[in-house]
Structures are given as C-alpha cells and as structure tokens.
Structure 1
Amino acid sequence: MRRERQPCVYILASGKCGTLYIGVTSDLLARLHQHREGLIEGFTSRYGVVRLVRFEMFDDMANAILREKQLKKWNRDWKLNLVESDNPGWVDLAEGFGFAPTIPKR
C-alpha cells in the first residue's frame, strides 16, 4: 500500500531549545526515517538533530517551500517561540507516528 504524499515543512531539534533544523518534504515519514537512521549526511546527522518538534502540512509544494524559506530567515527566538506555541514540552512528535523514542541531547 502506497502512502499519499503531502508537502510538509518540519522542524527538528537536538533537544529542548537545542540545535534546530528546518526542512521541507513531500513524505514526512520517509524523511523522518532518513534523519533518525543517519541516512542523510550533513548537519542533522553531525549534530544529532532528529527529534520532530513541529510540522506544518500544505496542499502544494510551492507554498511549503515558501514557508520553509520564511522560517529559515526568522531569528532563533522566533523559531523557539513557534515550537513552544504548540509544543511547550518539546515532545518528540515522531513517536506519535510510531518511531522509537530518542535520547535527548543537552
């Protein structure tokens, strides 16, 4: 059975108020798997940024990319406030999709 793809902007963190990463994908679950298994070389694997702390779904990729670019321009405090507005405990939302818990970085 094939999953339907849906554009999504997501924010990963290394832990509460830790290192942040903002990305865009058309398949959130597959991308989370890649990040959590270290299959994507670079920033997220180097700094252990694998906890899903926020995501926003979109109807089309163009709007998702616009939102990703907007968020990447924001200062750090705005990004932290955005995460805490919906996820004040910095819960790893990927666990709700069936992913195993991660050990938070400090």
Structure 2
Amino acid sequence: MAYAYMLRCSDGSYYVGSTHNLELRLWQHQEGEDGASYTRRRRPVTLVWSAEFEHIGAAFAFEKQVQGWSRRKREALMRGDYDDLPELASRPTARKDHPEQ
C-alpha cells in the first residue's frame, strides 16, 4: 500500500506528501533528520488527513494535485466535504455548474 497525507504544521501551514510507510514518515517529519526541511522548521506537526492508494505512483500523483490546491480546498478535503471540492477549484472551467445559484 501507499499513502498520500497532509500535515498541519505548528505555524498553521499544511504539508502534503506521499509514502509507502506512513508511520515511519510521520516519525521522520516529527522527530527525525530525514523529514522534509519544510516540516523540520515547523515542528510539531499533526497528521490531519491521509488516504490509501494501491501504488506509490497514484499516491504521488494525488500529492502533486493537492499541492496545487488552495487552503480552503485542502480544508474541505480534510473535513470530507467532497461535494465542495469542484466549487473550490481555482479555475472557473474546473467548477461544476450549480443551477440553484
């Protein structure tokens, strides 16, 4: 299995990553020297979202997709508000039409 995940850093920012071993990677971000330099400067970090993928390529692709998202869209993902994700797209062409609006 592979994972995509999101961390909340001590400064309130979010970090998105992917890995084969979520437990080890979280430890690296929190304690180790192998964590991303971004999170080493913003400890402590908290896991706020994760999802399983069949292979690392899919997890990495989703990581890259989420890295391009706005803060509001990332927070909707964390809350599980999946219906809100298209509406929070930064490009108007990516938004779904809502006849009720």
- The reply to whether TM is greater than 0.5 is yes
Letter in 2 for 1:20: Y
Q: TM-score, normalised by structure 2?
A: 0.70
Q: CA offset at residue 41 of structure 1?
A: 5.1
Q: Percent identity?
A: 34
**Structure 1 residues 46 and 24, CA, compared in 2 at 3 Å: closer, same or farther?**
same
User: 1:68 & 1:41 partners in 2: Cα distance?
Assistant: 14
Relative distance call for 1:8 and 1:69 in structure 2 (3 A) is same
Instruction: Give TM-score, length-normalised by structure 1.
Output: 0.67
Question: What secondary structure sits across from 2:41 in the alignment?
Answer: helix
Secondary structure (helix, strand or coil) at the match of 1:32 reads helix
Partner of 1:50: 45
User: Relative contact order: is structure 1 or structure 2 higher (C-alpha 8 Å, sep ≥ 6)?
Assistant: 1
Partners in 2 of 1:80 and 1:26 — Cα distance?
Answer: 24
Larger gyration radius, structure 1 or structure 2: 2
73 and 36 in structure 1: CA distance in 2 versus 1, 3 angstrom threshold: same
After superposing on structure 2, the runs of 4+ consecutive aligned residues of structure 1 that deviate more than 3 Å are none
Number of equivalent positions: 80
CA RMSD, Structure 1 to Structure 2 (Å) = 2.0
Shift of residue 73 of structure 1? Answer: 1.0
